[in-house]
Structure formats: C-alpha cells, structure tokens
C-alpha cells in the first residue's frame, strides 16, 4: 500500500484490495528515492506507483535484494541502478510476503541474473504461486470497474470493493479519471509478463554470508500475511520489515492482528538503528513499531472483551459487535493534524475491526 497525502483516502482505500497495487491509483508520476543505509546497503523507495520499498545489500561476492517492487519498468530501473553500484551479481532475492507490489519485479531480476535464487517463506511461496499469475487479470478487472464507476457512479461488481455503498463525489471521479490512463499503461506492462515465483522456500531462520556481510532471514510470526519474512543485518543494525510495518498507516486486510502484536514485539527485540518499512521512509527508532503493536492489541483486546461479555463470534455478526471497539484515541497518534490521513486512519480502523472479528470467528 502507498499513501499520498493528496489522495482521496476513502475512495482509494475502498478500491484497494490486498492483491492490488493500490499505489497505482494515486495520481503522481513514477518516483524513486534512494537512501544509503550503510556502505553497500541501500533502500530504494518507490514513492509512488512502482511498488513497495526495495533494499539492496552488497557483499564482497554477491548481492541480496529484498523485494522487487511492482512495475517491471521500475524493477529494470532498479537493476540499472544496482549495476552502477557494483559489478557483483544479484544472487538472492527475498520476497517479504505475497502481495504483488513486492514481487512482480522478480521476472526482471531473473532475466538479468539467470543464476538467481528467489527466497520466500513457504506460506508466501504458496500464495505467490496462487495469486502472482493473476496480476494482469486483476489490473484489467479493476480498470473495468473504474470505467463502470466513472460512467454510472456505481458498479455491479460490488464484491470487488470493500465499501459496498460507495458513493462517488466529484473529487473522487476526477481522481479516478486522472488515474485511469496510467493504470491502463500499467496493465499493458503486465500483459505479457510471465510471473516468476520463489525458487527456494524456508520455514524458520537462516543466514547467508555474501562475503564480509551476514544477512539473517527470519520468520517472527504472522502479521501482515501468513508468511512475513524479516531481514536483519546484525553488524549494520538494519531491519527490513516488509509490510509488517507500513508507514504512515498499516495495511491490514490480509492480516492476523491477534498474532501481529507479538510479531511486532519480536521485531522490536532486534537491535536496530534503521528499520526499513514495506512502504514509506526509513524509521530510526521503534516508536512507530510500538504504536502499531498497541493499535493491534487494543483492537483485539476490545473485541475479546465484547465477545466474552456477550456471545462467541460464531453467534454474532460484525454489526453486532463493531461498536464495542473504539480506536479513535489512536487517530491523532497516527494522523496528527492531517485531515486526509485522519480519514485514512478511520477507513483502516474499520477494516482492522472487521479483520479482528473474522479472526475471532475462526476460533
């Protein structure tokens, strides 16, 4: 997920779904921002449509890349940039989770470095195998829905949207209209792409020595998805968190909030000076990690209290219980005085409560 302070939050978050690169709906140009984290360690932030953050870790022999972003053209730009930094080959890619804004670029890396090994948690590989090849179809479908919305103000395909009673304002329509030509161009990029999934999967922790550079790969528990991988550089004290941490608001729709709290706690135990989120700027302390942890815990605790005092989730609907979970005290902590961000927070909070209830329904 990517957030743009000028975006109409309600609309974009309503349209975005877990498998869709929602960033593609915002209306800026493709932008990249490169930050040097240490000698030979760089973060490439795809600040708009390119996808999630990419981290490049260069050792004496080999290069390790965390996440390959969304648009193949953006991945090719990143590869060109890596070749300016080093003549060592990219030997490893790690996909932090299955959302396609972190792995559609895999193909470009495999084509550029044929000896490449692409690593993912076993659960992530399973979900990438399932959903990765459908990216073009989903983009096309979304564009059809946007056309329908622009023409009629509504869509028959309501199941595709999270907000079933979406009413478009004039601003919403303008944003969609502005975004459509670029979205069509993205779809065109994906049209003939053969999706490249992971080639090596893991369950627990392991580490790789790239030549005077140790890279630890960890599974710290479920959170944003069922197979979130974290990369840790112990010497450099750098953590690459994937979408376990998305700034300035979490993306929650495929998440496991009841476990996410503990996973963030585990993450915070790593001795780190820099935390690279899945989207957004590099974090230099753990304040935001703790804020996310507290948000998840509060949502789960309030839901559990309600269920304990009434009936188990299986006997109730979301409408019966959602009023018992109040997350508004977190709004200023995430959004400050930013009105768009505040509205984005409210939308995210509603989704979080839904996911917490669904999780409780499985118990």
> What is the torsional sign of CA 331, 307, 262, 53?
negative
Cβ 279 to Zn ion shortest distance, Å: 6
Angle subtended at Cα 17 by Cα 129 and Cα 101, rounded to the nearest 5 degrees: 55
Binding string, residues 207-226; x marks residues near Zn ion by CB under 5 A: --------------------
**23 or 82, CB closer to Zn ion?**
23
3-state secondary structure of 185: helix
Q: Which is nearer to Zn ion, 99 or 293 (CB)?
A: 99
Contact yes or no for 118/110 (Cβ under 8 A): yes
Smallest gap from Cβ 234 to Zn ion, in A, equals 25
Q: Which CA distances in Å does 168 have to 11, 73, 174, 244, 339?
A: 8, 32, 10, 31, 19
Q: With binding defined as CB under 5 A, does residue 243 bind Zn ion?
A: yes
Residue 278 makes contact with Zn ion by CB under 5 A: yes
Tell the burial category of 329 from Cβ atoms under 10 Å away from its Cβ (0-12, 13-18, 19+): exposed
CB of 250 vs Zn ion, minimal distance in Å: 11
Shortest Cβ 60–Zn ion spacing (Å): 31
Whole-number Å distance between alpha carbons of 258 and 352:
11
Q: Is 52 in the site for Zn ion (CB under 5 A)?
A: yes
Q: Give the nearest residue (CB) to Zn ion.
A: 52
Residue 132 lies near Zn ion (rule: CB under 5 A): no
CB-wise, 108 or 252, nearer to Zn ion?
252
Give residues 93-122 in contact with Zn ion (rule: CB under 5 A): 99, 101
Cβ-in-10-Å burial (0-12, 13-18, 19+) of 222 comes to: buried
User: How many residues belong to the site for Zn ion (CB under 5 A)?
Assistant: 5
Which residue ranges make up the site for Zn ion (CB under 5 A)? 52, 99, 101, 243, 278
């Amino acid at each position: 997920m990517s957030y743009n302070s000028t975006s109409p939050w309600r609309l974009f978050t309503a349209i975005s779904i877990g498998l869709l690169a929602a960033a593609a709906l915002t209306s800026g140009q493709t932008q990249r921002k490169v930050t040097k984290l240490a000698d030979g360690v760089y973060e490439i932030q795809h600040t708009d449509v390119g996808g999630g953050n990419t981290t490049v870790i260069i050792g004496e022999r080999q290069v390790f890349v965390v996440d390959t972003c969304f648009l193949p053209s953006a991945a090719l730009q990143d590869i060109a940039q890596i070749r300016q930094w080093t003549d060592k080959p990219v030997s490893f890619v790690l996909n932090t989770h299955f959302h396609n804004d972190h792995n559609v670029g895999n193909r470009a890396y495999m084509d550029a470095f044929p000896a490449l090994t692409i690593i993912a948690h076993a659960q992530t590989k399973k979900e990438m195998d399932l959903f990765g090849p459908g990216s073009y179809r989903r983009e096309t479908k979304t564009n059809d829905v946007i056309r329908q919305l622009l023409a009629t103000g509504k869509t028959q395909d309501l199941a595709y949207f999270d907000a079933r009673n979406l009413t478009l304002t004039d601003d919403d329509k303008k944003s969609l209209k502005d975004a459509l030509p670029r979205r069509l161009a993205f779809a065109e990029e994906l049209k003939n792409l053969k999706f490249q999934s992971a080639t090596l999967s893991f369950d627990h922790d392991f580490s790789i020595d790239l030549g005077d550079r140790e890279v630890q790969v960890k599974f710290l528990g479920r959170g944003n998805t069922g197979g979130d991988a974290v990369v840790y550089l112990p010497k450099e004290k750098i953590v690459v968190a994937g979408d376990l941490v998305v700034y300035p608001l979490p993306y929650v729709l495929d998440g496991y909030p009841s476990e996410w709290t503990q996973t963030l706690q585990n993450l915070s135990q790593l001795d780190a000076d820099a935390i690279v989120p899945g989207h957004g700027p590099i974090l230099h302390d753990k304040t935001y990690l703790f804020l996310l942890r507290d948000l998840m815990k509060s949502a789960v605790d309030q839901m559990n209290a309600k269920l304990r005092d009434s009936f188990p989730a299986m006997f109730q609907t979301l409408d019966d219980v959602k009023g018992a979970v109040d997350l508004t005290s977190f709004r200023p902590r995430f959004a400050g005085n930013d009105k768009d961000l505040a509205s984005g927070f409210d939308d995210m909070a509603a989704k979080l409560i839904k996911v917490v209830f669904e999780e409780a329904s499985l118990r």
